[in-house]
Amino acid sequence: MIKKIIPTLALLAVILTACGGQPAEPTLAPDQVQGTAISAALTMVAMTQAAIPTNTPLPPTEAPSPTPLPTFTPLPSPTPDFALLPTATQAAASSGGEDNCLHPINRGEAGPTSNIRFENETGGTVTLSLNLRTNQHGQCGAETYIIKKNEKLTIAMPKGEYWAYAWIEYPDGDTSNAVGDINNRVADNHLFVVKIKPEVIIVK
């Protein structure tokens, strides 16, 4: 811009000197003309720059706060059915003074016993719960035993009727259960053989 203004000012100075009948007034020296032109040009540039609107920076955009992930409460692991049955380690429980049999068998008052041999033929590990219904001696309760794969376990059990439940765990992680009834009669003195199969408990 300055380079264009300086020649224009110089040309005007020459024209003004040539025109008019009266003697020309003393003209500025070339270096003075150049200095004046430069000063005027700088003034115009400054005024032009001042007139340009300044770029106002946009306010920073606030980053959205992360939305918290929903929380969840894990469901309880399934409980094998046998865990709901009374075991030999449960404390005696009663309701209204009546015996509900949710306690270990009182062997000291349950009367005579007979040997029962349990044979595990399930292919897995058995958790066996034996639940004695109230017998002739007024005793009831439950006992629990672990019988490994292909194992045979002989137990001296008080006389009476039992409801037997087996929870079976297989090596591959699968599970199943078996149920059956055992009647350990008072008149029977022979050895009972009970076979535990994948779905049923059989007295032989």
Taking the chain (204 residues) in consecutive chunks of 10 residues, what is each chunk's mean pLDDT?
55 55 54 57 55 57 58 48 44 50 94 95 97 96 96 96 97 96 89 93 90
Q: Has residue 16 been placed in a domain? A: yes
pTM of this structure: 0.54
Q: Residue 19 phi/psi, 5° resolution? A: -85, 160
Number of domains observed in the structure of the chain:
2
Domain containing 32 equals: 2-20+28-51
Q: Has residue 73 been placed in a domain? A: no
Q: Has residue 93 been placed in a domain? A: yes
Indicate if 87 and 179 belong to the same structural domain.
Answer: yes
d(CA 152, CA 98) in angstroms, rounded, equals 36
Indicate if 33 and 122 belong to the same structural domain.
Answer: no
Indicate if 34 and 119 belong to the same structural domain.
Answer: no
The pLDDT of residue 197 is 96
The pLDDT of residue 96 is 42
Indicate if 109 and 181 belong to the same structural domain.
Answer: yes
Indicate if 101 and 170 belong to the same structural domain.
Answer: yes
Q: Has residue 60 been placed in a domain? A: no
Model pLDDT for residues 37-86, shown as the tens digit of each residue: 555 555 555 555 555 555 555 666 665 565 555 554 554 544 444 444 44
Indicate if 158 and 108 belong to the same structural domain.
Answer: yes
